Structure 1
Amino acid sequence: MDLNTVTEFAPATRAAWRDGDAWLGGGTWLFSQPQPRVRRLLDLDAFGWAPLRETADAVTVAATCTLAQLARWRPADRHFDGAATLARQCCHALLGSFKVHNVATVGGNICLSLPAGPMTSFAAALDGVALLRAPDGTRRAVPVAAFVSGDGRNALRPGELLSHVSLPAAALTARTAFRQLSLSAVGRSAVLVIARRDADDGTVVTVTASVPHPVQLRFPAPPTPAEALADLDAVMDAALDATGPGYLDDVHGAGPWRAAMTRRLITETLGELAR
């Protein structure tokens, strides 16, 4: 795509945000369609962020980390191996060639905020926190599960930048079960469910792709499938009562089918964790 309205390209480290700017990470979405309001691109590579930083307390993923880099992550702490496996599963859920995976970034996928965004699924399932930076230098932290508020909508304010996602060790050491469904073998995710069981047996079920924004079910002890599905129904009924959207219904999957498959995958993931 020829962005013929863009007249300037600048390193993000040396440019003050102004109207008409766009942060440039991998650019796989930015260059895929016309951007008539964009006048200048601010290159995030200038920050030189390490793709991943691993400590005993957390793993910090830079917004500029590519999906290929995340998929190649082999933790120094072997207790994080399950999280690395989940990372690869989520990376492979992205519909795209190896060329896309070598350019598309974790931060870009989350900020695009599509329901099927697998980096949103990954970060939300592991209680990831989005670290945001405003043009005036103000910083704030928002849980990724709350960062995405709808199809293409999120908590970003004008000029705000997602710099990193922090994943806490307590979630990184948990057991996880992953399920994903599409209408075709290489189609966009229509349903994606990740169930997580922590060391204290607390259980978190994260649903994405079939709903406009992440839906999380939390339990202090492993729930039965019936208990989890009852909670899911309550959450979805509350969304409808608030005149909000329920299950997505589009070319990637009809609403009733997505609802049925969501229930099926929740049952499967909880069954896997129970074994």
Structure 2
Amino acid sequence: MKYIRLFREFMRACLVEEFEYRANFAANMLSTVFWLVMAILTVQLYFYRTQEIGGWDFYEVLVLLGIFNAVHGFIEFILQPNMSRLVNHIRKGTLDFVLTKPVDSQFYISFRHLVFWRLSDVVLGFGLVAYALWQLHAVPSFVELLQFAIVFLASLVVVYSLWMGMMMFSFWAVKVDNLSYLFGSFFETARFPVSVYKGFLRFTLTYIFPIAFITTFPASALIGRISSWQVASSVGIAVICLTLTRILWKFALRHYTSASS
């Protein structure tokens, strides 16, 4: 309950800050709509020459694109504003102030700063998913919705763990900001089903850098393509990633040289 109340206070403070600049808030939302439309047009260009991509038709790919947009909104809502500050905290020695607070340091670092207008990505993403399912005349059953909820939450945990894990290398390296661009490059591959990629690349995006668990599996759950073992493996991968991230955080703190040494 303590951390729920604390997260609620983080949300309240950040929301007040966002609405101090309402025109900027509205402009950013319009920008989000523009980029989503451009992404849809890009997908449509591929289907001028083919009827399917990796065994997925146009509206099935739109389901996946909507989920990609929602996950991207989560990244920009929570991860991006906080992970960049983690690097600065370590570089400037201000992580000392975080470690002295009576709260878990990883929780504080992960959720202190929120960018609320990025939730528009989440809303528009799920709106695109609903539209694509309507065009497919697909009504997910209760079991499929439950599978989607499980796999989607697991995908958010995987994304958080991967990004947090990369940013923690800043405990040993002077500047690791470019790792966020590396993550972004890999994440862009999630715009399309993992079946598009062949051979070793597909293996890499499924088991080494688990992009498949982020968008392909949640989309598969909604269109009835997912199996029970895929749901179970999504949960397993999420638990493993989160556990490793927690272990790495504890290990990094033990090797952290504070500003006061």
TM bucket normalised to smaller: under 0.3
- Scaled by the length of structure 1, the TM-score of the pair is 0.25
- Scaled by the length of structure 2, the TM-score of the pair is 0.26
Structure with the larger RCO, 1 or 2 (CA within 8 Å, 6+ apart): 2
Structure whose residues are more often strand by fraction: 1
